[in-house]
Amino acid sequence: MAEKTNEEQLAYFEQLGVVPLVTLHSVEEAVPLAKALEEGGVPVAEVTFRSPYAIEGMKRIRDEVPGVTLVAGTVHTVEQAKASVEAGCKGLVTPAFTRSVVDYALENDILILPGTAVPSDVDDAYQLGLRYVKFFPAEAYGGVKTLKALNGPFAEMKFLPTGGVNLKNAEEYISLKNVFAVGGSFPVPSAAQKAHDWAAIAQACKDARALVEPIIASKSK
């Protein structure tokens, strides 16, 4: 099967509406967790560098659960970016607008969703030709209200709000025309992950999809 282009990958995320944030507690949980995401209808894993098991976990998911699209999260350095791509990641997500990582991604035609929080970050991305970015930390930086305000001067930009997004407010976020998907750990509940309750994670993903799917469908009409 042909690799998705960056544009096709973004369209896929937009179709799903949810990008689960995954912080691995061990290498061994990578595969069953990824299978739970797939079973729950959200076959995407933003595996973060908040854990020392990130790279090895990415490799295991790449090799054993190929139906799950891998994205690297909390990428701070070019070295982490390179290692992620080698481990099978199809995109990079940074917590801040880290110019070295953004430049590396653009130079190598790798999907990049840089972190933005204020207008200057968004404009930095815009000037480089990027139209899809992360908005983090979403709730701490004004959430839905800020995203509505950003739509005025940055009408071409689309955001992935992460940070404080959950099942209670996801509907409000995904309803915004400048939000292409919501990100966060809510499809992977901490208690379920610690208990290795993969069925509960699959159900959480189904709940997230059930919430966003009708809104996405209405936005595409």
Range 6-209: architecture per CATH: Alpha-Beta Barrel (3.20)
Q: What does the block give as tokens for 31?
A: 């595969």
Which residue is catalytic, options 46, 56, 171, 194? Answer: 46
- Domain extents in the chain: 6-209
Kindly report, residue by residue over 121-173, the tens digit of the pLDDT.
999 999 999 999 999 999 999 999 999 999 999 999 999 999 999 999 999 99
Which residue is catalytic, options 134, 168, 213, 219? Answer: 134
Catalytic residue list contains 46? yes
Kindly report, residue by residue over 27-60, the tens digit of the pLDDT.
999 999 999 999 999 999 999 999 999 999 999 9
This prediction has a pTM of 0.97
Q: What does the block give as tokens for 51?
A: 């854990």
